[in-house]
Structure formats: C-alpha cells, structure tokens
Amino acid sequence: MTLRHAAILCLSGFAAAHAWGQNAREEQAVPGIRISGAQLIDQNGAKVRLPDLLKDKVAVINTVFTTCPTICPVMGAHFAALTRLLGDRAAREVTLISISVDPLNDTPARLKAWSEKFHPAQGWTLLTGDPKDIEEVLRGLRLFAIGPENHSPSTLIGDARKGEWRRATGLQSAEKLAALIPSQSPPARATATETKPDRR
C-alpha cells in the first residue's frame, strides 16, 4: 500500500473522527498516568518494558492496529513523518511508541511490515503482547478502549520522569505534533568564569 493509497483509504477515518476532533481540545493535561512494567514485544520480536523505553526520553505514544482502514494509517504516516522530521533527536531525546489494540492479530512481523509502508526513520517502536498485558499498559496510559474499532486518535506526549503528560489528536500533522514535544536541552547559562572581568 502506498502512502497515497493509505490517504485515500483514510478519508473516511477523518470523517469517523470528526466528532471526536470537534469536541476535543488540541491538547490537554492528563493526570493520573501510570506506567506499567508489563512485558511487551516490539516489532523486532524483542521483549521490552515500557519504563525502559521511556527512560531519559520524552515520549509520544498512540494506539493502532494493522487492519484498521481509517484513522490508523493516517497516524502511522504522521509518526513516520515525525521520525524524519526529528532526525537525530529521535534517537537521543524522543521515543515514538505505537501500541497495538489488537494484539491477538498484530504479531511483531505484522507490525513491522505495517510500519515500513510509511518509510520511517529511527526512533519508532511498535508494541504487541499478551492481551492482558496490553490492557494493563493501556489502562495505565488512559488509552484503553473496548474493541480495536473503538480506540481514539489520541496521542500522549510527555515525560515519565516528571509525570507530565498531555493528550493531543494524532490526526494533526507531524509538524504540529513536533511543536508539542518539549525539549530536554536546558537553556544556556553564563558562568562566573565567562562573565568575571580580568582583575590582573
């Protein structure tokens, strides 16, 4: 499937999410996020845990499933574009994570093949696993929905170390999502040696 084909398929996705988008703020704080340590599996078949993926990085998290013909290809295309837009920052500071809401069907191989249709750069991890573990993780992130078809285009952006999370719509462009990602780089400060006059 080409990106153009995905976009055509997902025109109905925009319509399906129209009511959600109208009633939701572009971004809002999300209290009470819990990061589960349940074991999951990434698109390469490696066993991983969410706390390890979030360590020392700002996270951008959404939910998808590979047979979704509506909003998921749009969000997948935007995540792939975001990896390219972030460049090296995606490896150093930011991690993008998509969690399958259909773990019974979304094997690691299917997730990998699905993501590769969008030609991502580095920094995007796709997760599946035992349905009970997926539910535990999604409930902690406040992203759980009963049935894959009922998941929303919500995207969580935040820092687990600070416990600060915001929810935004994943249907907006990669450029808009990038603008919501906080920087980890501290502001430059003048030191005493830089400003002290020569008293010789």
pLDDT in tens, the chain (200 residues): 444 444 444 444 444 444 344 334 456 888 889 999 999 999 999 999 999 999 999 999 999 999 999 999 999 999 999 999 999 888 789 999 999 999 999 999 999 999 999 999 999 999 999 999 999 999 999 999 888 888 889 999 999 889 999 999 999 999 999 999 987 544 334 333 333 444 44
Which residues, other chains included, contact 75 with Cβ-Cβ below 8 Å and sequence gap of 6+? 62, 64, 98, 153, 155, 170, 171
Helix (H) or strand (E) holding 133: helix 131-141
Residue 39: predicted pLDDT: 98
Rounded Cα–Cα distance for residues 86 and 62 (Å): 17
What's the pLDDT at 83? 96
CA distances from 21 to 13, 65, 170 (A): 11, 20, 10
Strands 39-42 and 124-128, bridge-based pairing: antiparallel
Q: What is the phi-psi region of residue 56: left when phi exceeds 0, alpha when psi lies from -120 to 50, beta otherwise?
A: left
Q: Residue 188: what pLDDT?
A: 37
Residue 25: predicted pLDDT: 44
- Tokens, residue 146: 């009963």
Q: Name the nearest CA neighbour of 64 among 19, 124, 5, 132.
A: 124
For residue 184, the model assigns a pLDDT of: 57
| CATH fold for the domain made of 3-182 | Glutaredoxin (3.40.30)
Question: What is the pLDDT, as a whole number, of residue 13?
Answer: 43
pLDDT for res 161:
87
